[in-house]
Amino acid sequence: MENILPKDGEVLYFPNLYTEKQSELFMDILTEKVKWQQDKIKMFGKEHNLPRLTSWYGDGGLPYYYSGIKMLPNKVDFDELSLVKMAVELQTDNRFNSVLLNLYRDGQDSVSWHSDDEKELGTNPIIASLTFGSTRVFKFRHKEDNKLQREIELTPGSLVIMKGETQHMWEHSVPKTSKEIGPRINLTFRNMKQLV
């Protein structure tokens, strides 16, 4: 499997962890069963709705903090999420204790440039990102050289694994698009550590 990044990190792309039909099935189930919430973010002193719905599930009861938002974990209480987690762990040969889910309702929902570099993730974390639903563009740019960029199309049932120095040296985003597209659910599996 070829590394998508030219240096300072490792990103692997698996286009068919699930078939398109399986992806449609999981999309329907997760849309219905996940406890979705609309978070707000403060920008320039004003509160705005985050341009997507989110949900946080975890084994150890650890909250997740990002962009001034505190997310308390939901308990994994339906089998389909456990099955997807097992499949991702088999593919990555790694154990995960939490997952952040994002529901992009249409092309106007997005996530801006960021790195998943919270202290709770530790040094050089492995993060596995699974897509169900509509295809979206996933962009990377190097922190020290913004002109150094890569992008891939995340198709239904595809898995991206980010590891090594990726979160320290690169940012990633899912930009808005003017195309008429349907919803997409993204599951980002990670292993959170208890800070002492």
Residues 148-172 have a mean pLDDT of: 98
CA distance 82 to 89: 11
Residue 65's pLDDT is 81
For residue 1, is it within any domain?
no
Phi-psi region of 31 (alpha: psi -120 to 50; beta: other; left: phi over 0): alpha
Q: How many helices (H) and strands (E) does the chain have?
A: 3, 14
Residue 36 is part of which domain span? 10-190
DSSP 156: T
For residue 4, is it within any domain?
no
Question: Does position 195 have pLDDT exceeding 70, yes or no?
Answer: no
Q: Which two tokens stand for residue 134?
A: 């509509």
For residue 105, is it within any domain?
yes
For residue 104, is it within any domain?
yes
For residue 5, is it within any domain?
no
Residue 46's pLDDT is 83
Question: Does position 114 have pLDDT exceeding 60, yes or no?
Answer: yes
CA distance 96 to 87: 11
Residue 41's pLDDT is 78
Residue 126's pLDDT is 97
User: Structural domain tally of the chain?
Assistant: 1
For residue 15, is it within any domain?
yes
Question: Does position 33 have pLDDT exceeding 60, yes or no?
Answer: yes
- CATH number of the domain bearing residue 120: 2.60.120.590
Residue 2's pLDDT is 92
For residue 123, is it within any domain?
yes
Which of 63-72, 136-145, 172-181, 186-195 bottoms out in mean pLDDT, i.e. has the lowest? 63-72
Cα-Cα end-to-end distance for the chain = 37
Residue 16 — very low, low, confident or very high, per pLDDT cuts 50/70/90? Answer: very high
Contact status, residue 161 vs residue 189, Cβ threshold 8 Å: no
Q: What percent of the chain has pLDDT over 90?
A: 80
Question: Does position 115 have pLDDT exceeding 70, yes or no?
Answer: yes
For residue 2, is it within any domain?
no
